[in-house]
Amino acid sequence: MKKKRKKINEKKLTIKLLLITLYLIVITILFVCSYKIYQDKNIIKPWSETSSIEDYTYIEISKMSEKFAYYEEKNIGIHFVIEKEDTGRWHTYLIAIDEKDYDKYKELIDYSYERTTTEVKPIKVYGYPVIVNNELKEMAINNIKNFVPAENEVTITEDNYETYLTNCYLDTTQKRKDSFSYLLLVTSFFLFVVIVLLIATILDHDKLISRVDKKVKEKLKIKK
């Protein structure tokens, strides 16, 4: 009888260890996947890599113009900004700021117009892309020559506007939204289920082990 019971226990232990190992592997995979999905969901893309108006993004501005357009009802000003790459190349974009925050950018604006010789560190601004309407596009075309140096000036027209200024401006007045991810929800659910199964197996409440135990007992003709 003792030998038979020992054999049953050995069978149970083998199955239990295999299940625990399997669950740990699955938990590790699901955890890594969930963490990667969470990171991707919360990543902040640079403006040059933005592909959707749903992307929270940023521009690191080294020069900034005075506002050339103003939305009074929202107290929002539209400004030209220049972002420089490490290679030395520069790009001109449009951003919208709450005019209450003007003082935050004043030193950079003054430096951009050479009102001061004190160099100002670049400012990183965050927000969401907003499609430029025709009225704003026309104002940008008419005013960009007042900001970009003549030697670097490219004649901006409606035909090449998106090539040089993109079809959006960065709205820094929009706070970051918490985006929902169905994929993260699914992986988190399965991760929870597998953890529960792991705990059940460790505590000998796993149905699979119970079935194995029953079959082995029946095979060896041992009554509980």
Task: Specify if 48 maps to a domain.
Answer: no
List, in sequence order, the alpha helices (H) in the chain: 2-42, 102-112, 134-143, 161-165, 182-202, 207-220
Are 202 and 105 within one domain?
no
Of 69-73, 109-113, 167-171, 194-198, least confident by mean pLDDT is: 194-198
Q: Cα–Cα distance between 63 and 140 in angstroms, integer? A: 16
Query: What's the rounded Cα separation, in Å, for the pair 50 and 27?
Result: 33
Q: Is 80 contained in some domain?
A: yes
Do 128 and 155 fall within a single domain?
A: yes
Q: In this structure, are 23 and 113 located in the same domain?
A: no
Domain count, the chain: 2
- Residue 50 domain-assigned (yes or no): no
For residues 53 and 69, the model is more confident at: 69
Task: Please indicate, yes or no, if residue 49 is contained in any of the structural domains.
Answer: no
d(CA 190, CA 194): 6
pLDDT tens sequence across 35-59:
787 767 677 889 888 888 888 899 9
Are the C-beta atoms of 57 and 50 separated by less than 8 Å? yes
| Domain-terminating residue out of 134, 150, 171 | 171
Same domain, 21 and 108: no
**Range with the poorest average pLDDT among 37-46, 73-82, 136-145, 153-162:** 37-46
**Tell me, what's the pLDDT at 224?**
45
Domain hosting 200: range is: 2-41+180-220
Inter-residue contact 76 to 98 (CB < 8 Å): yes
pLDDT at 180 over 70: no
Give 198's pLDDT tier (boundaries 50, 70, 90). confident
Please tell me whether residues 164 and 184 are part of one structural domain. Answer: no
Share of the chain above pLDDT 70, in %: 78
Strand order, beta sheet including 168-171: 45-46, 57-61, 123-131, 168-171, 90-98, 76-84, 63-71
Residue 88 lies in a domain: yes
Read off the pLDDT of residues 4-16 as tens digits, 9 standing for 90 and up: 565 656 666 777 7
Going by C-beta distance under 8 Å and a sequence separation of 6 or more, which residues neighbour residue 176? 56, 126
Do 157 and 186 lie in one domain? The reply is no
On whether both 22 and 89 belong to a single domain, the answer is no
151 part of a folded domain: yes
Examine the domain organization and report whether 78 and 115 are in the same domain.
Answer: yes
Domain boundary among 130, 151, 171: 171
Answer with the one of 135, 152, 171 that is the final residue of a domain.
Answer: 171
Q: Is 22 a residue whose pLDDT tops 80?
A: yes
Residues 68 and 6 in one domain: no
| 82 and 150 housed in the same domain | yes
163: left (phi over 0), alpha (psi -120 to 50) or beta: alpha
What is the C-alpha separation between 119 and 148, in angstroms, rounded?
18
Residues 164 and 85 in one domain: yes
188 & 94 share domain = no
Q: Is 47 part of any domain?
A: no
In this prediction, residue 195 carries a pLDDT of: 86
